[in-house]
Structure 1
Amino acid sequence: MIAEATEMLLSHLVLFVLVLTRLSTLLMAMPAVGVGVPKRVRALLAITLSVLLLPTISNDLTSSTLPQIDNLIELLVAVAREALVGMLIGTVVQLLITGMQLAGELISSTGGMQLGDALDPTTRANMPALARMIGMLVTTVFIGLGGHRYMLAALMDSFQTMAPGNVILHQGMMDLVLHELSVGMSAGIRLAAPVLTALLLTNLVTGFISRTLPGLNVLAIGLNINAMAMLAVTAMAIGGASWIFSAELDVVFERIARLW
């Protein structure tokens, strides 16, 4: 009797570690949580959610699907696989947000505003202020649409399809990451297209002015015209970021659901 109780306790302890690992890596990659929340709060949140989810997950498992781990090496391999699954769900959404920030990079470099760079806390790299503003905008849209709930729902679906300790990594996961990388870059280019078109037209106008009136300081005039055109068109087009992001976010979660 004592041996059976001890075996049950150890099996559920391993199950708790695996659930905690998958959930923790998801929270680390989740927008607005992985960076903006202190580490102690994230750890407490991960432990609390794992304790709440453990009874539901264990009830769905049978004796044959419980994680069967005999040594430390098997446990480390299982933990690594669980971490990859949780990281996958958060990474595909983060790739979409990073792709949207590409619009700010393109607009700032084309408009000659590279001097306004600042440290981005997510990527730990210098990023234009406009790109950071777009990142904060789409992150706010993500929270407003309930994206964090969709990510947790995707996590629960993954537990039903791939039980803890029985994770199988396949080519579809890498294909999903590559697809979302291309989709994010495409979304950023679509967002930046109106501003880039306006800047191209202003450069053409500046070129015509320089040919007509060669005595003017075309460099100073061109920079001022580019700055005013960039700010005006960006103010009119920035609202499209929420529409593009929300549409692509729905597609992301549909692809994650099909992946399981």
Structure 2
Amino acid sequence: MEWLEAMLLTKVAVFALVLCRIGALVATAPLFKLETVPVTVRGLLAVTLSMLVMPLYAHLSYTSPWNLLAFGSLMLNEVLIGALLGLGMQMLFTGVQITGQIISHMSGMSLAEISSPEFDGSATVFTQIFHYTTMAVFVALGGHRMVMAALLDTFEWAPPGHGTFGDSFAQVMVNILQQSFVLGIRAAAPVMVALFLSTLLLGLISRTLPQINVLAVGFGLNSMLTIGAILVTLGGAAWLFQEPIVATLEELQSTVVPISAEAGG
């Protein structure tokens, strides 16, 4: 019965490696990692997808399941690959927080913060508006399916236990972070320009009509101008964040490269 035990252990090892890669993505990718999604649902999704993928690689064999240290390193590598795709996409959408923070501070409405489990703390109203808008666009475009498909595609050239990061990993992550920052600035640019012109106008008024209380007038004017500008430009901001989704996924996929069977165990 030793052959049966060895075969079952090998199949369990393959399933564990597949589950590590898929589970890491489900735990870190946009939409999947929302605090409003129960952990049970996310766990069931990861296990179900792993059960569907595992039979495709059931023929693989490993000498390392009996070596806990070596097999643990393989599992860690799979977790890092899945987390790479999830966190890479999550980094792209962090520009939304930049947009909300810039608009809140420039409009003087940064004190309007409410507790949000999505940000693990308090967040401004504008940050949450842009966050939920971009998430809605992400779902409408099928971004959650594209992210999952991108992960499943990595199994084609980097099977479980035989994948690692390429030399371009660090550069790709820096590019995504830079792109996220640029997207945040571009999304906030119309409101920033409107508030700048408003501040300039209030400065001219205060010089010509010093009897007017500029602080009292300016806060109301900036609030109305901010809300109006957001209503006009919110669709454009959502369009900005949908453009780089496919390109970012392709860049992240390019960082996952196969390794030799000897290196994989």
Looking at structure 2, the residues matched to 67 and 227 of structure 1 have their Cα atoms a distance apart, in angstroms, of 65
Letter of the structure 2 residue corresponding to residue 16 of structure 1: F
Counterpart of 1:203 in structure 2 is 199
Q: Deviations over 1:36-95 (max 9, x none)?
A: 31011111111111111111233xx555xx574331111221111111111111111111
> Out of 210, 215, 219, which is 1:219 matched to?
215
**Any unmatched runs of 5+ in structure 1?**
none
**Would the aligned equivalents of 2:28 and 2:86 in 1 still touch at CA under 8 Å?**
yes
| Structure 1 pair 105–75 and aligned structure 2 pair: CA distance change class (3 A) | same
Contact kept in structure 2, 1:18 and 1:82, CA below 8 Å: yes
RMSD of equivalent CA atoms? 1.6
Cα distance in 2 for partners of 1:257, 1:67 equals 27
**2:126 corresponds to 1:130:** yes
Counting only pairs closer than 5 Å after superposition, residues 47-126 of structure 1 correspond to structure 2 as 47-58=47-58, 62-63=60-61, 66=62, 68-126=64-122
CA distance in structure 1 between the partners assigned to 2:141 and 2:84 by the alignment: 20
Distance 2:21 2:255 in 1: 16
Q: Distance in 2 between matches of 1:80 and 1:42?
A: 20
**Alignment check: 8 A CA contact 1:195 1:233 kept:** yes
Cα gap change, 1:124 to 1:67, in 2 (>3 Å): farther
Identity of aligned residues (%): 35
Q: Is the 8 A contact 1:93 1:252 kept in 2?
A: yes
Using the alignment, how far apart are the partners of 1:180 and 1:170 within structure 2? 16
| Secondary structure, counterpart of 2:114 in structure 1 | strand
- Of 97-106 and 182-191, more deviation after overlay is shown by 97-106
CA distance in 2, matches of 1:202, 1:226: 7
Query: Residue in 1 aligned with 2:249?
Result: 253
CA shift for structure 1 position 97: 1.2
When the two structures are superposed, what TM-score results if normalisation uses the length of structure 2?
0.91
Contact 1:100/1:241 (CA < 8 Å) preserved in 2?
A: no
**What is residue 176 of structure 2 aligned with on the other side?**
180
Cα 1:29/1:245, change in 2 over 3 Å: same
Q: Which amino acid aligns with 2:235?
A: G
CA contact (8 A) 2:9 2:65 kept: no
